[in-house]
Amino acid sequence: MKVLEDRIREEGQILSETVLKVDSFLNHQVDTALALQIGREFKDIFGQERVTKILTVEASGIQFAMAAGIAFGVPFVYAKKKKAVTQSEEVYSAPVHSFTRQEDYRISISQKYLGPEDKVLIVDDFLATGAALVGLTDIVEAAGAELVGVGCVIEKSFQEGRGLLEQRGIRVHSLARIAAMAPGEVHFIPELIEERAEC
């Protein structure tokens, strides 16, 4: 997605060879027009499937899950990282190890909002190690729902996330794929026209 790659080049701060900061437009301050455009892009890519629900993990996937939900005309559900006092019902949950924060936590979704009748598209801001998204795919499986695919805004393709998901037979599409980066430079993997045509 050219507009996204341009914004990453213009505003992204490459803090190291593995960490990209995009909080001026993606995941702290959010460019709402761009977020809605991202939602429509996911609809273009996965729209031939009859998606019934968009899933993400709080907090920084929420704006893109909402945008995708608007584009598909379906609800979105976000997995919670902490159990809220209001959450008394049964949940599906999965452990996640965060490599960025070096901590373990559990994500959970109420069983009321996901079931065997659902066809799910998972959406998130970053695909890095894939730990959070593997946890979400475990939840989809536990609920007996069908996973249509995973859509990520930015993929750091030099990390193992895509491989982990593809090993599970999951269709992955990211809007900007970073092959390599270093302070002052970022190299994208060109978007494959055929990839979209085969969808």
Q: Which residues bind ligand 5GP (CB under 6 A)?
A: 19-22, 27, 60, 99-100, 124-132, 161
**SS3 of residue 71 by DSSP:** helix
Dump strand ranges (E) for the chain. Answer: 13-14, 20-21, 53-57, 76-79, 91-98, 103-110, 119-127, 146-156, 172-182, 185-188
Q: Kindly state the smallest distance separating residue 177's Cβ from ligand 5GP, in Å.
A: 13
CB 119, min distance to ligand 5GP, A: 22
CA gap 29, 33 in Å, rounded: 12
Query: Residue 5 Cβ, how far from ligand 5GP at the closest point, in Å?
Result: 15
Q: CB–CB of 70/36 below 8 Å?
A: yes
Select 91 or 153, whichever has its Cβ closest to ligand 5GP: 153
CA torsion 174-128-123-120 (nearest 10°) is 100
Which lies closer to ligand 5GP via its Cβ, residue 52 or residue 188? 188
Q: Is the Cα dihedral 152, 156, 157, 159 positive or negative? A: negative
Q: From the CB of 98, what's the least distance to ligand 5GP, in Å?
A: 6
Q: Which CB sits closer to ligand 5GP, 16 or 48?
A: 16
Collapsed DSSP state (helix, strand, coil) of residue 48: coil
- The token pair that represents 75 in the structure block: 């609800």
Least distance in Å: CB of 97 to ligand 5GP? 8
For ligand 5GP, the closer of residues 52 and 132 by Cβ is: 132
* Cβ nearer to ligand 5GP, comparing 98 with 110: 98
Taking the CB of residue 188, how many other CB atoms lie within 10 A of it? 19
For ligand 5GP, the closer of residues 43 and 162 by Cβ is 162
Closest CA to 159 of 124, 122, 190, 130: 130
> Shortest gap between Cβ of 116 and ligand 5GP (angstroms)?
26
